[in-house]
Amino acid sequence: MNKESIIKELQFKAVRSGGAGGQHVNKVSTKVELVFNVANSNALSAIEKERIFLKLAKRLTKDRQLLMQCDESRSQYKNKELVIKRFLKTIESALKVGKKRKKTKPSKAAVEKRLRAKKKASEKKAYRSKPDLD
């Protein structure tokens, strides 16, 4: 994955931010929306695209575009930086290949220790009951 080539393919749109903020919010477009078309990307290989389609399926649109937005800061430039960082982190985590789990069994000593503990607890509870007088 080449970060520079992916960043070149990103599309940005500045939108008015919602919420509190008074007059500033109503007149300045500080919220940044990022659009990345995964299907038409030249920076990703076919395998990487498939991995993204699988891992980020819920976050993609019907056109296989990844949409992200940021309105944390009052600065459009700062919001653009933040959304790019968040986007790269999301893509990296989607492309990360996890380790395969190795099947293991508990050791004989561990099994015996567990069974001894169970037996001891069972005996302890048996001593709590009333004695059988018959």
Q: What is the largest CA-CA distance in the chain?
A: 91
Residue 132's pLDDT is what?
79
- Look up the CATH number of domain 3-95: 3.30.160.20
| Domain residue spans of the chain | 3-95
Residue 79's pLDDT is what?
94
Please report, in tens digits, the pLDDT of each residue of the chain (134 residues total): 788 999 999 999 998 887 777 777 778 888 999 999 999 999 999 999 999 999 999 999 999 999 999 988 888 999 999 999 999 999 999 999 989 999 999 999 999 999 999 999 999 999 998 887 86
Do residues 30 and 75 make contact, with C-beta atoms less than 8 angstroms apart? yes
Q: What pTM value is reported for the model?
A: 0.72
Residue 109's pLDDT is what?
98
- Percent of the chain exceeding pLDDT 70 equals 99
Residue 16's pLDDT is what?
87
Residue 105's pLDDT is what?
95
